[in-house]
Structure 1
Amino acid sequence: MKNKFPILETNRLILREIMLEDVYDIFKYLSDIDVVKHMGIMPCQNVKDVEDEIGWYKSIYEESTGIRWGITLKDSGKVIGSCGFLNMITKHNRAEVGYELSKDYWGKGIASEALEAVVNYGFHHLQLERIQALIEPANLSSQKLVERQGFSKEGLLRHYEYTCGKFDDLYMYSIIKEDLSKV
C-alpha cells in the first residue's frame, strides 16, 4: 500500500491529489484547445474523458511510475492545472515532468511556482538524479518556463511521438540534481 499522497505548499499554491470531485474544474481547462494543443492529446469532449485522465493519474501513482498533483490556489481550493512526474524509472533515478494550467491563470507565475515545488520534491524526496521535459518546438512559453527553472536544452528528438494523427518532434530538456546549486 502506498504512503499518503504528499501535499506540497508554496506561497500561493497547494499541490494535492486530484479527486473525482475535481472533474468539472479540470474539464474547464482540458476541453480548451489552447491548453492542450502542445500536450499530444485532443481536447476533452465530456466528463468521461476527464474521469479517464484522473484514472490515469491514480494508476501511475499506484504503479510508482509517476505522480501528478492538482494545482490549487490557497484561497479557492479549485484545481486550475496539474504538474507532476511520469515515465519515472526508479532504477535510473529519472523521471519526465509535465504540466498544464488553465488559460485564465497564464502569465502569473503559477506554473513556475508549481514546477519549482515539484522539481524540488523529485530531487529531495524521490531521490531523482535527472528530471527531463519533452516540449514541442512551437511551445515557446513552456521552453522559457523550464529554462527559467534551470533546465538545459539537450537536443531535438525528431518524430519522437505519434499523437493526434501525426508525428511530433520534441525538444529534450533536463535538469540534474547538481544543477540546483547553479539556479
Structure 2
Amino acid sequence: MTYQSTRLRLAEISLGDLDAIHHLHSFPEVDEFNTLGIPSSIDETKEYLTPLIQAQKVTPRKSYFWKIELLEASAFIGIAGMTLSSDKFKRGEIYYKLLPNYWGKGYATEIGRLLIRVGFNDFNLHRIEAGVATENVKSISVLEKIGMAREGLHRKILPIRGEWKDNYHYAIVEGDLKDN
C-alpha cells in the first residue's frame, strides 16, 4: 500500500526499515513531544516496530504505519500513520514524524495533506483527527495549514519525560476542504 504526493511517498514499513526508524527516534528534537521516549537500544525499537508490521496482516485492518520517502532520491525522511475507528464511525487519527534535517521545508504540510486525502478518498472516512502537545507550535501550525480545526483540550493526557502534558485535539470532516 503506497501513496504519493508531489515530492513524497508513503510506503509500508518492514523490518528492513528498523535502522532508519531507530535513527529517527534517537533525536532529542524528535523526542521533545513524543510519548515513546528515546529508545535505549535497537532492540527496543524492534519491539515497538514488530506489532506495527504484524498489524499489516490483520483483517479488517485498523492501523497503518508508513515510512516517508523523498520521491526523487527514495531517501527515508520520517514516518506517518493512521489509526481507524470501527466502520460505524468512519474516523481516523493521523500522525507523522520527520528527521530534523527535513523540518521547515513544507514536508510535514505535504504529508498531512496526503494523509487527509488518503483518509477521505481511499479509506472513505467521515472525520480525521490529530492530537498535538499544546507546546508543539510547529505541528499546531501544520495541522491548521492542512485545514484541521482545534476542537478542544485534553488536560494532562500525554506522559512525556515524567510529566503529564496537555494536548490539543484537532479534526477535519469530509467536505471541509473542497480541493482535498
State TM-score, norm by structure 1.
0.89
Aligned to 2:143: 146
Distance 1:11 1:74 in 2: 8
In structure 2, relative to structure 1, the CA distance for the partners of 1:167 and 1:85 (3 Å cut) is: same
Give me the CA root mean square deviation. Answer: 1.8
2:31 is aligned, of 18, 23, 36, to 36
Structure 2 unaligned segments of length 5 or more: list them: none
Give the secondary-structure state (helix, strand or coil) at the position aligned to 1:135.
Answer: strand
The alignment-based identity, stated in percent, is 28
1:45 is aligned, of 40, 45, 51, to 40
Aligned to 2:9: 14
- The answer to which of 75-84 and 16-25 deviates more is 75-84
Task: Supply the AA of the counterpart residue of 1:101.
Answer: L
Superposed displacement of residue 164, structure 1: 4.1
Distance 1:88 1:39 in 2: 22
Aligned to 2:114: 117
**Cα deviation code 1:92-123 (max 9, x no counterpart):** 10011111000010011111111211110111
Structure 1 unaligned segments of length 5 or more: list them: 1-5
Distance 1:60 1:171 in 2: 27
Superposed displacement of residue 80, structure 1: 1.4
Distance 1:57 1:153 in 2: 28
State TM-score, norm by structure 2.
0.90
Distance 1:95 1:56 in 2: 19
- The answer to which of 21-30 and 169-178 deviates more is 21-30
Runs of 4+ in 1 over 6 A off after TM superposition: none
Aligned to 2:71: 74
The answer as to 2:160 corresponding to 1:159 is: no
Distance 2:57 2:33 in 1: 26
Distance 1:59 1:168 in 2: 30
In structure 2, relative to structure 1, the CA distance for the partners of 1:56 and 1:76 (3 Å cut) is: farther
Aligned to 2:21: 26
Distance 2:72 2:42 in 1: 25
Aligned to 1:3: none
**Cα deviation code 1:11-39 (max 9, x no counterpart):** 21121011111122222211111112212
